Structure formats: C-alpha cells, structure tokens
Amino acid sequence: MTTERSLVLVKPDGFKRGLSGEVLRRIEAKGYTLVALSVLTPTREQLAVHYEEHVGKPFYEPLVDFMSSGPVTAVVIEGQDCVKGFRSLAGATNPTEALPGTIRGDFGRDWGTPVQQNIVHGSDSHESGQREIGIWFPEL
C-alpha cells in the first residue's frame, strides 16, 4: 500500500443537495486526510482540460454543461491507497448499481437523471489523480 493523493469532486447535484459535508465526513471517517478544499463553479475551459479524453464522445457536451451548471466542492485527499479506497466509498458509477452504504448507493438518484449526475467524482488512478489535482489545485 502506498500513500497517495486523489481528487474528489462533489458534483453540482451533490452540492445543491447539501451533501458536501456528508461526503467529507465519510472521507475523514475512512482515515484520509483533507489536503486542500475549494468551493467553485468550474469553467468550461477547466472542464475541457479535466475531461480532455472524452472530447468528441456523445456524453461530453452534456457532461460539461452539467459540471459547469453550479458550484462543486473540490477536495484533495491523501492516504494509503486513497484512489482505490475513495472509489470504493463512492460506489458504482451508475447509482442504480451502487451498493447501499456507498455514497452513490445511499444518495444517488437514478430516476430520469443522466449517469454523470451521481454525486461525486474520484480520480480513477494515481496518474489521473496527479493530473487532476494539477488542474483544480495548481498551487499544489
């Protein structure tokens, strides 16, 4: 196991529903450290860099529209294998498939909402975490 950092975003749907505190509580309860935290409304330019691997895919524009629709809570977490650990806390991407006890399983709404409206984002690898942290927290 290695100590690493990961980016976590409480997406606009989670922020609007007041779930940032609950997400942060679960992160800290798992034993991870909050290294940096910011509340902001992402720009389309910032999201274009974050989601650059998805440019041209059918879900890209709706995803950027959604993610720029309101404030997000952006957090850098640190801990032993925190990339894998947070993704386990978050649950399956599709809230319908997310197990109870996970963030998406407990709070994800699956009635008529696109899958990107699933409360949180977590880096999917150590390398992605480093890249994403540089986008959202360039000072780190």
Binding site listing for ATP: 11, 59, 87, 93, 104, 118
Who contacts 98 (Cβ-Cβ below 8 Å, separation ≥6)?
A: 90, 91, 92, 104, 105, 108, 118
Binding-site positions read 11, 59, 87, 93, 104, 118
Who contacts 128 (Cβ-Cβ below 8 Å, separation ≥6)?
A: 83
d(CA 126, CA 23): 20
CB atoms within 10 A of CB 48: 13
Catalytic site residue from 50, 54, 121, 126:
121
Distances (CA, A) of 53 to 41, 97, 132: 21, 25, 12
β pairing state of 120-122 and 72-80: unpaired
121 is catalytic: yes
CA angle (85, 90, 94) in 5-degree steps: 135
Residues with active-site annotation: 121
